[in-house]
């Protein structure tokens, strides 16, 4: 099949979070299955980067460049020139973003002509690409392809004062947008896209059910629940070439399920680097996260005093985002420097080390569309303690020491009691070496690779053709 992905992020070219990893992972896995996949994203000021060549193209009112990667195992990548809307950052967080992503939607329908290539599927990701299905549907019999809109997080919808449409949009767009996506003087890109796409997907089955309810739908639950069987949850995969304890270039020692001694060396190295006091019998709990309300890190800061008093756990936290949360974490770490280390920032290398070296990883999200960090942790034999929501619920099964089944600790309530129960339960397992070995073996045996997920997308695409 010919698939054109339309999106704002693509790893490693433009990444602020899990979206970039997901589009790259899915794209590569589809190419590996023989599909002709191409990706369109805006040309941000930092692209394409030193030493990379561009080939220019023109179609209609838009100008594109293809990145000459020479990589036949990956999709071909096209960048839309943004001209006066170019900015250094991936998001400007003002009306210019509306302009950029309106332009992206319109350009996606013109790119195939420039390429003399016909996509079967336009696969659009998140609110940034959500107007592509709107324009495609409005084209009627001249439509370019069937459309799939994937929701990576309905907490981000692209809401702007509606006058951005006069400023940036082709005239047919306003009339093509569903009236309820234009309510209250605003335009809601994601709502418009959910109405217009042939199929809507999201990144886990549980999240697909949750977002039909007021608690998780963020105001879109009405339109999402009308989609019935055309709203589908497909779990994201992991790129095991990047996240592999046997070869990870960010690590100074490598291990697998049959030889865990190097993992213990890494634990000593992590403790030494962060100033934590931890020997082999000290449980080290890692957290790698955006500091955003969604992630429940305020529950961690509220639970920490009790956990530090009543357990032997030691915490290695890496996060960036909310300034107030960062300052609470900084002061807890200052009070108990041998038990809590907080690194404020985005650090890919330290993230790999924390997943590899820790005993546990804590993911207490209030909601989590899919979540990648719990799957990375499993690969490194690090046991996830997660809240039962979204993709966390779909990937982590609460361990049962009696039967030996399960791969982590799962708690239900997003509060201090729930989180503390989840962590204490796992710490109990940690203290029994036979039980813990079984749990680690289960974790490392799990396979969440993209290869397993791609057939779901193939069936979905085929159902539209
Ligand atoms: P989200 O996309 O909502 O942030 P995911 O779990 O889907 O959550 O993906 C987060 C990705 O970003 C993971 O690859 C994780 O390792 C990475 N990450 C998050 N925060 C940091 C950080 N402070 N430093 C390094 N990597 C981070």
pLDDT in tens, 259-288: 999 999 999 999 999 999 999 999 999 999
Instruction: Look at residue 354 in the predicted model and tell me its pLDDT.
Output: 98
Percent of the chain at pLDDT above 90? 96
Taking the centre of ligand 1 as the mean of its atom positions, its distance from the CA of residue 411, in whole angstroms, is: 21
Q: How far away, in angstroms, is 346 Cα from ligand 1 center?
A: 9
Task: Give the number of other CB atoms < 10 A from CB of residue 252.
Answer: 12
> Torsion angle of alpha carbons 421, 424, 425, 431, nearest 10°?
-170
Residue of the CA atom closest to atom 4 of ligand 1: 17
Strands of the sheet containing 284-291, edge to edge, are: 340-344, 314-321, 284-291, 360-363, 383-387, 409-411
CA 245, CA 52: separation in Å to the nearest integer? 30
Q: How does DSSP classify residue 256?
A: B
Q: Which atom of ligand 1 is nearest to the CA of 368?
A: 3
- CA 370 to ligand 1: nearest atom: 7
Segments of the chain with pLDDT less than 70 = none
| pLDDT score recorded for residue 229 | 96
Shortest-distance atom of ligand 1 to CA 318: 23
Q: Helix %, strand %, coil % for the chain, to 5?
A: 45, 20, 35
Question: In a mutational test of the pocket of ligand 1, which residue from 349, 373, 389 has the highest number of ligand atoms less than 8 Å from its CB?
Answer: 373
Residues 373, 289 contacting (CB under 8 angstroms): yes
Query: Which residues sit opposite 159 in a β-bridge?
Result: 188
Torsions phi, psi for 201 (to 5 deg)? -120, 160
Residue bearing the CA closest to ligand 1, atom 12: 17
Ligand 1 binding pocket, CB closer than 6 Å: 17-18, 21, 288-290, 318-320, 346-348, 351, 370-373
From the alpha carbon of 294, which atom of ligand 1 is closest?
A: 3
Q: Distance, CA 149 to ligand 1 centroid (Å)? A: 22
Q: Ligand 1 centre and the CA of 391: distance in Å?
A: 14
- Residue 1: the pLDDT is 98
> CA 398: distance to chain centroid?
23
């Amino acid at each position: 099949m010919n698939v054109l992905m339309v999106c704002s992020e693509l790893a490693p070219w433009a990444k602020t979070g899990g979206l970039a990893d997901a589009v790259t992972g899915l794209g590569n896995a589809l190419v590996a299955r023989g599909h002709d996949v191409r990706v369109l994203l805006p040309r941000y000021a930092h692209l394409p980067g030193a030493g990379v060549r561009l080939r220019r193209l023109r179609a209609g009112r838009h100008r594109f460049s293809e990145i000459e990667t020479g990589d036949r195992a990956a999709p071909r990548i096209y960048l839309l020139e943004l001209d006066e809307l170019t900015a250094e950052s991936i998001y400007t967080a003002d009306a210019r973003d509306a302009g950029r992503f309106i332009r992206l939607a319109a350009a996606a329908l013109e790119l195939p002509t420039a390429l003399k290539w016909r996509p079967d599927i336009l696969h659009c990701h998140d609110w940034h690409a959500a107007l592509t299905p709107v324009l495609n549907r409005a084209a009627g019999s001249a439509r370019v392809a069937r459309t799939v809109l994937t929701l990576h997080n309905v907490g981000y919808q692209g809401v702007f004062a509606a006058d951005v449409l006069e400023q940036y949009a082709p005239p047919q767009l306003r009339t093509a947008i569903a009236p309820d996506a234009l309510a209250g003087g605003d335009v809601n890109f994601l709502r418009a896209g959910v109405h217009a796409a042939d199929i809507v997907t999201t990144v886990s089955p549980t999240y697909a059910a949750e977002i039909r309810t007021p608690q998780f739908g963020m105001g879109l639950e009405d339109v999402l629940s009308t989609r019935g069987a055309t709203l589908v949850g497909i779990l994201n995969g992991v790129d095991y070439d990047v996240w592999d304890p046997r070869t990870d270039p960010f690590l100074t020692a490598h291990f697998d399920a049959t030889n865990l001694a190097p993992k213990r060396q890494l634990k000593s190295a992590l403790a030494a680097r962060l100033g934590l006091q931890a020997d082999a019998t000290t449980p080290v709990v890692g957290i790698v996260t955006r500091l955003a309300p969604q992630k429940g890190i305020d529950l961690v800061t509220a639970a920490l005093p009790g956990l530090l008093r009543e357990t032997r756990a030691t915490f290695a936290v890496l996060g960036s985002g909310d300034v107030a949360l960062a300052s609470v974490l900084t002061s807890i770490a200052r009070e108990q420097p041998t038990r809590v280390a907080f690194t404020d920032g985005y650090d890919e290398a330290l993230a790999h080390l924390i997943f590899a070296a820790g005993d546990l990883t804590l993911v207490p999200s209030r909601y989590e569309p899919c979540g990648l960090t719990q799957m990375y942790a499993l690969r490194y034999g690090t046991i996830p303690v997660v809240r039962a929501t979204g993709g966390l619920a779909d990937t982590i099964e609460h361990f049962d020491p009696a039967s030996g089944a399960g791969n982590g600790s799962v708690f239900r309530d997003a509060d201090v009691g729930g989180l503390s129960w989840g962590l204490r339960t796992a710490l109990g397992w940690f203290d029994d070496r036979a039980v813990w070995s079984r749990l680690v073996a289960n974790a490392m045996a799990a396979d969440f690779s993209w290869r397993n997920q791609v057939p779901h997308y193939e069936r979905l695409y085929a159902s539209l053709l």
